[in-house]
Each structure stands twice: as C-alpha cells, then as structure tokens.
Structure 1
Amino acid sequence: MKKCYFCRGEIQEQSVDVIRKRKGQVFIMEDVPALVCQRCGERYYTAEVARTMDEKIAEGINKTKRVISVPILSFDVDYAAS
C-alpha cells in the first residue's frame, strides 16, 4: 500500500473536485481521479490526469459543463488579528 509523502498516512483512490484559477478565471473540475491521503488530505494526480486538467483549463469557457455564481470573500488582516 502506498503512503503519503508528507504524513505517511494511507492513500486511496478517489474522485475529487478540483478548483483551479487561470488568468483571473476560476474553473471547477468534477470527478477527477486522485490518490488522497486519508490522514492529511494531500492529493496526488498521475501525469496523465494532470495533463488532462491542464488541457481542459486551456480549452476554457468554450467547453464548460455549466456556469455557477460563487461569492468572493476578501481576507481582512486587521479582522484576523483581533
């Protein structure tokens, strides 16, 4: 069984959602095959999966499955310090 590089936890195959940002545009890819650490949550992708994600992002908005609206929050450093 494979172990996580960071915490030595067990990793298992799972389908995950991946969020990526490119040129100011956010993309969410669903059902991406990954190896996921069951302890710390670190994700590992095969070279083929990583390449496919890059290609899909490069294709961009012309091939989207659907469009959603997402609220954007700003991290306020002054608020976090209080």
Structure 2
Amino acid sequence: MFKCHVCGSEEAHSESISEVLNIQGKFYLVENIPAMVCSRCGEEVFSRETTERVRVMLNQETAHVRSIPLEVFSYDDVL
C-alpha cells in the first residue's frame, strides 16, 4: 500500500518520469523511470528494484541512447 512520506496521502498513480542525476559532478538524464506519484503533492517514489536498476545502469556505464546539450544557469548570477 502506498503512503506518501511527505503529505501522508494514500492516493497515488503510476507514471513514467524523467530524472536528472548529478554523480560526481557529471549530469545524467534518465527517462521513462516507472514511479508512483502522490496524487495530492506530486512526490515521486521509486521501488527498490527500480532504484537498483538505475544505479546499475549508471555505475556500469550502460550505453546511453543519446546526448543532449544542457544550458546551465546560476541563481546567484541574477541577484
């Protein structure tokens, strides 16, 4: 049974999401990750199996499907 650790809601739906991960200063975009998403607050939760699969994918340097340019902004620069 799902229970959101942020808002306590027990209502969620399955969704495929994308996540940007920063590992030792290098950014990786992982697409189509299966997640449970809280219907109230939008918190995304991954199963242990999904988390482990993503970890193995990145640590074993599985062949990526494509590369994309990434624009970088610093919040401090706009002050």
Give the TM bin, normalised by the shorter chain. Answer: 0.7 to 0.9
TM value normalised by structure 1: 0.82
| Paired letter, 2:60 | E
Deviation at 1:78, TM superposition (A): 7.2
The list of structure 1 runs, each at least 4 consecutive aligned residues, that deviate by more than 3 angstroms after superposition, is none
In structure 2, the partner of 1:32 is 33
In structure 2, the partner of 1:7 is 7
| Paired letter, 1:56 | M
How many residue pairs get aligned? The number is 78
- Structural mapping, 1:53-64, within 5 Å: 53-60=54-61, 63-64=63-64
Deviation at 1:51, TM superposition (A): 0.3
- Structural mapping, 1:36-51, within 5 Å: 36-51=37-52
Inter-partner Cα distance in structure 2 for 1:54 and 1:42: 20
- Deviation string for 1:8-46 (max 9, x for gaps)? 332111111111111211111111000011221111111
Any unmatched runs of 5+ in structure 2? none
Deviation at 1:5, TM superposition (A): 2.2
Inter-partner Cα distance in structure 1 for 2:3 and 2:66: 36
| Paired letter, 2:51 | A
TM value normalised by structure 2: 0.84
| Bigger fraction of residues in helix | 1
